[in-house]
Amino acid sequence: MIQSARGEFVVSLKPLAFEGADPEFKLGRMSIDKQISGDLTASTLGQMLSAMTSTNGSAGYVAIERVAGVLNGKRGTFVLQHTGTMNRGAPSLVVTVVPDSGTEDLVGLEGEFKINIEDGKHFYEFTYRLPAQ
């Protein structure tokens, strides 16, 4: 059965060294850590790699973050994988649960984590499925 969770989160991004990167190629690395509230109450630790281009509004990023907390009453951890692009200002972002990354009550978790930004605040809608108990 497909379920959903909604809420808000605060994200902290901090630049990290990108070893061996030539500044000409505009590659970056950052920590990406969140405090999530709502139907999912959790904290995350992760890292993001990005690539800027010489075209205004075009870029890409990937990220992996480990989520630890409680999802609609079920405790555990899981990993989210981000794949994002900006194509001349048009954004595309897919954030999915890494298969078989769930632990404890979240073993077998599958899902997609959609992010919306409104008036500078970050909101999420997490559509997910857990195996029948």
The residue behind tokens 């920590």 is: 31
Report whether CATH 3.30.2040.10 matches the domain 2-18+25-128.
no
The predicted model scores a pTM of 0.93
Residue 125: C-alpha distances to residues 19, 39, 53, 108 (Å) = 35, 9, 30, 19
Q: Is 31:12 a contact under the CB 8 Å cutoff?
A: yes
**What percent of the chain has pLDDT above 70?**
99
| Rounded Cα distance, 19 and 17, in Å | 6
The stretch 43-65 carries a mean pLDDT of: 96
pLDDT value at 123 more than 80:
yes
Q: Where are the domains of the chain?
A: 2-18+25-128
Helix (H, G, I), strand (E, B) or coil at 116: strand
| Total residue count of the chain as it appears in this document | 133
Please report, for the chain, how many H helices and E strands are present, in that order: 0, 8
pLDDT value at 90 more than 90:
yes
Q: Is 32:16 a contact under the CB 8 Å cutoff?
A: no
Q: Is 108:128 a contact under the CB 8 Å cutoff?
A: no
pLDDT value at 126 more than 70:
yes
Q: Is 78:104 a contact under the CB 8 Å cutoff?
A: no
